[in-house]
Structure 1
Amino acid sequence: MSSPAVDLTQAALARFALGVPAGCSEALQNEVRHVLIDSFAVALGALRHPAAIAGRRYGRNSQVPWGARIWGTGEVVSPETAALVNGVPLRGYDFNDVYIGTGCGGHPSDIVPGLVALAETRHCSGQKMLDALVVGYEVIITMMDVIRLGASGWDYPNICAIGMTCAAARLLDLDESQTREALAIAVVPHFASLEIESGELNAAGDLTMWKRFNGSDAIRHAIYACLLAQANVEGAVRPFEGNFGFLAKTATHAEQRVALLDQLHPSKPLNAICRTMFKRWPVGSRGQSAIQAALEVRGQLGDPAAIREVRVFTGQDVHEHLVLKRSAPWAPTSRETADHSLPYIVAVSLLDGRVGVESFSPERVMQLRENGLLDKMSVIPDERLDGKATGFTSRVELTDLEGRVFTSVVKPQPGHRLAPLTDEEFEEKFVDSVTPLFGAERAAELISSIAMLSRMEDVGCFTEKLVAPHPLMDVVSQ
């Protein structure tokens, strides 16, 4: 009997995951700190989101004597369950980091709750977890620059599952053979369809709740795959390069496969985590520039009651993502139809002069629809604004009742790599998000603890601080 052909991509990923030297440069450590502050800000600030409440309800079915804590309540569950439950609020308000690659895009920080859960369960040091996080980001972002998932109808969690598998294998000290099997178990049984991003609404007139579970379910599956491989369970022989493997399913061509293998070398400098973008406001990533532009022209106008007409100029990608794909962008009915509606995003910015989670409550959505500003708004594709290099820029132009025209200046959005958030802005986002549930004193303590994670001998010393001071009653907050 002949030996099975080697899956070069599977082997390269395993070698990369385990072969990257430990330890990060000071610059990289700072980027990791930003990712963690941002991720915990978003997740802890969304613990009252309906999807987060549903996740905790599920998690209570599998409590164990030892494992990982559910954030907010401190209930102990298996690491797979903790990865799922804690990952849901991270995606609750679509507020975590984002990377838009040349192949596809998504949210690399989906791996943070999974790595924290696994590190806590295995009593790993903070530095070991951070090293694994950097490896996971490197794999995810490298693959997003090569793999064109959307063209084949697959969603970004497929790639996050691969990155998480590599990171978890490193954290668990799997050997190279076990890591290859873990990748096979992770990639073949877990194909996440892009149908979750179809824009179709459920019976309640909202985007399906699974959008909030989609990423963390992939991370849960990656942990499960690593634990199975650690128990000597085998996966498919050629999960990436087989006739029906990942690369075939994603229509990845030969030259793209070569490019991927070239990047997956343990000696390459680790810098992918430096290329992720962060969100200043809790809306779709392609709406950030429009908010900045709307706030700028509002400052010029003064009184929003004097608006006669609003014109939003934006690139085709933004127009496709926040207008054409939406069922009724000029008539949103809920939080999730509003925070992915370009007309609504601009309108609430102009009326309120600020944008926060409360800007998309069902009550505010209905108030704004009755205001009439949406009827005065048009969205105009402008090919000069196309492209992700400048952060999916938009320009807002409005005319007042006297016929005067006010227009914004096109500039990179805050959080883009051309206009990075400062340390102070990351901390402001954290305080704004976390204080309502945890209080200002605990929020400040958590920021300090995140900065100290690399020196902690046990990640559990940090997660024990993630219990809210007052019991979560699990009353739904829209």
Structure 2
Amino acid sequence: MSNKKTMVEQLADWAHDADWSMLSDEAKEALKGRVLDSIGVAIGALNGEPVKNIRQMTENLGGEKLVTLIGGGKTTPDYATFYNGAAVRYLDFNDSYLAKEETGHPSDNIAPVLAAAEYADANGKDFLLALAIAYQVQCRLSDVAPVRKYGFDHTVQGAYGAAAGAARAMGFDSSEIANAVAIAGTGYNSLRVTRTGELSNWKGLAYPNTAMGAMHATMLAKYGISGPREVFEGNKGLMDSIAGEFTINWHNENLERVTDTIIKRFNAEIHSQSSIEGLLELRDRENIKPEDIKAIRLTTFDVAYNIIGGGEEGGKKLIRYKEEADHSLPYMLAAAYLDGQVMPEQYDSDRINRGDIQELLQKVDVKPDVHYSSRFPDEMACRIELETNDGQIFEIEKSDYKGFKSKPASWDVLMAKYNSLTRNIDSDLAHEIAETIRNLDNVNVSDLTQLLDQIQIKEDVSI
């Protein structure tokens, strides 16, 4: 047998040896910003029907009261990971990472890493460092091992990141980290049908489910269960079965990928952000009445077209409920033009089914452009043409938006979004949560989770 370490063992050594000094000041601030953004999004989602249903399921199933649920109560680390992850993900308003052939949401790792850190009574630095590891693993695997084109979901790479981050947060040695990552990576390879065709609640729950599995894998490793050490390169491993050959020299990896993630300005699928911003700018500039619009023509990059524009992942003009609406460029552009924003209220059932928006979205046409596609993911280039009933054409072109890598969101911008999403909880508590996150490297994780335990949402206020 060869003494050469497998890829998962090399990853585990790197994750184990990583320390706080490896993080740049920019990365530290980005991590705090992603936590603030995701906690705000989770609070804003607590009245969402699927989130409330999962809360009921969690309470009915019970479980040892070990880890905090956002909004109060405690349960086991894996159940808490699923519930908190569902809250972070439900609105589809958390961060994104754009690789050339894969887009993921690395802040989905906050739920498992936070659960692991609270369970281990870790301090804030330990939590942020473990979260940086989770970000790095998921993002780098998205770079070199995209799976969407093979029919698998971006949660595949997330299983490795969630387990690596959770295992590090629990203070595992290298062997235990390797086992946790190997078990999670082997066990959670979700199908892309999650996000194609007629969409369901599962679109927002696939990663929380993977993260719950990664948390479970981490606990198995804690209790001495081993996993297949050739999960990446072995016979019928990730390379052989799904992704094809790739290499990562984990020894040389840094912890900076979090600084390449982007924040959503609008409550809309990430690839829509520049086109929504552009249409709103055109709307404000020209003041054209909706009833005077003959057509809205969007030319964009191929990933946006294929996922949300009516390309390879299905038509986007039959819109009946939230999961279809927030993955439809025609709907989101129509909502932006009519309402001047795309926020959670644009996905209320009454808004989705109203005649004005259903009529306008039928006038939106989307097509891909090779030149714009070549500029992705460094840009999110697009062009919008608005034609009026009398034949006039108005245009705007965009390459990015406020929140993209070229225009990163400041703490003040993140706070404005956070405040809008947390307006239905006690304002003093919301402020204390934000300040604790901003100072997370100087406090214990329990200082944050104790505050999350106190959250109470007004039940009569919808998202």
Q: Provide the TM-score with structure 1 as the length reference.
A: 0.90
1:455 deviates by: 0.8
Q: How far apart, CA to CA, are the structure 1 residues paired with 2:117 and 2:61? A: 19
Q: Which residue does the alignment assign to 2:421?
A: 433
SS of equivalent residue, structure 2 residue 295:
strand
Residue identity matched to 1:419: K
Q: Which residue does the alignment assign to 2:79?
A: 81
Correspondences of 1:335-374 after superposition (within 5 Å):
335-369=322-356, 372-374=359-361
1:402 deviates by: 4.5
**1:279-303 per-position Cα deviation (integer Å, ceiling 9, x unaligned):** 1111111111110111011012214
1:382 deviates by: 2.6
Confirm whether residue 460 of structure 1 aligns to residue 446 of structure 2: yes
Q: How far apart, CA to CA, are the structure 1 residues paired with 2:101 and 2:315? A: 28
Q: Which residue does the alignment assign to 1:419?
A: 407
Correspondences of 1:2-17 after superposition (within 5 Å):
3=1, 8-17=6-15
Does the aligned pair in 2 maintain the 1:338–1:345 contact within 8 Å?
yes
Query: What runs of 5+ residues in structure 2 fail to find an aligned partner?
Result: none
Q: Which residue does the alignment assign to 1:224?
A: 216
1:228 deviates by: 1.2
Correspondences of 1:297-336 after superposition (within 5 Å):
297-305=282-290, 306-322=292-308, 323-325=310-312, 327-336=314-323
1:312 deviates by: 1.6
Q: Which residue does the alignment assign to 1:273?
A: 258
1:316 deviates by: 2.4
1:18 deviates by: 0.4
**1:251-306 per-position Cα deviation (integer Å, ceiling 9, x unaligned):** 322xx22xx1x2x11x5432111111111111111111110111011012214233
- Change in CA separation of 1:361 and 1:174 when aligned onto 2, cut-off 3 Å: same
Q: Which residue does the alignment assign to 2:387?
A: 399
Correspondences of 1:254-265 after superposition (within 5 Å):
256-257=246-247, 260=248, 262=249, 264-265=250-251
Q: How far apart, CA to CA, are the structure 2 residues paired with 1:102 and 1:394? A: 17
- Change in CA separation of 1:251 and 1:329 when aligned onto 2, cut-off 3 Å: closer
1:138 deviates by: 1.2
Correspondences of 1:24-423 after superposition (within 5 Å):
24-64=23-63, 66-72=65-71, 74-199=72-197, 201=198, 207-253=199-245, 256-257=246-247, 260=248, 262=249, 264-265=250-251, 268-305=253-290, 306-322=292-308, 323-325=310-312, 327-369=314-356, 372-386=359-373, 387-423=375-411
- Change in CA separation of 1:6 and 1:76 when aligned onto 2, cut-off 3 Å: same
1:103 deviates by: 4.6
Does the aligned pair in 2 maintain the 1:391–1:413 contact within 8 Å?
no
Residue identity matched to 1:465: L
SS of equivalent residue, structure 1 residue 250:
helix
Q: How far apart, CA to CA, are the structure 2 residues paired with 1:213 and 1:21? A: 32
- Change in CA separation of 1:17 and 1:103 when aligned onto 2, cut-off 3 Å: farther
Q: Percent identity?
A: 26
Does the aligned pair in 1 maintain the 2:73–2:453 contact within 8 Å?
no
1:408 deviates by: 1.4
SS of equivalent residue, structure 2 residue 267:
coil
Q: How far apart, CA to CA, are the structure 1 residues paired with 2:203 and 2:155? A: 11
Q: How far apart, CA to CA, are the structure 1 residues paired with 2:458 and 2:217? A: 32
Does the aligned pair in 1 maintain the 2:196–2:314 contact within 8 Å?
no
Q: How far apart, CA to CA, are the structure 1 residues paired with 2:235 and 2:455? A: 53
Give RMSD over aligned pairs: 2.2
1:168 deviates by: 1.8
- Change in CA separation of 1:77 and 1:304 when aligned onto 2, cut-off 3 Å: same
Q: Which residue does the alignment assign to 2:437?
A: 450
1:376 deviates by: 3.2
Residue identity matched to 1:37: L
Residue identity matched to 1:363: D
Query: What runs of 5+ residues in structure 1 fail to find an aligned partner?
Result: 202-206
Does the aligned pair in 2 maintain the 1:17–1:170 contact within 8 Å?
yes
Q: How far apart, CA to CA, are the structure 1 residues paired with 2:19 and 2:388? A: 59
Q: Provide the TM-score with structure 2 as the length reference.
A: 0.93
- Change in CA separation of 1:304 and 1:102 when aligned onto 2, cut-off 3 Å: same
Does the aligned pair in 1 maintain the 2:45–2:90 contact within 8 Å?
yes
1:405 deviates by: 2.5
**1:7-62 per-position Cα deviation (integer Å, ceiling 9, x unaligned):** 62111111111011234332221111111111111111111112211221221134
Q: Which residue does the alignment assign to 1:204?
A: none
- Change in CA separation of 1:465 and 1:135 when aligned onto 2, cut-off 3 Å: same
Does the aligned pair in 1 maintain the 2:436–2:447 contact within 8 Å?
no
Q: How far apart, CA to CA, are the structure 2 residues paired with 1:411 and 1:294? A: 13
Does the aligned pair in 2 maintain the 1:127–1:453 contact within 8 Å?
yes
Q: How far apart, CA to CA, are the structure 2 residues paired with 1:231 and 1:109? A: 27
**1:199-224 per-position Cα deviation (integer Å, ceiling 9, x unaligned):** 2x2xxxxx221222211111111121
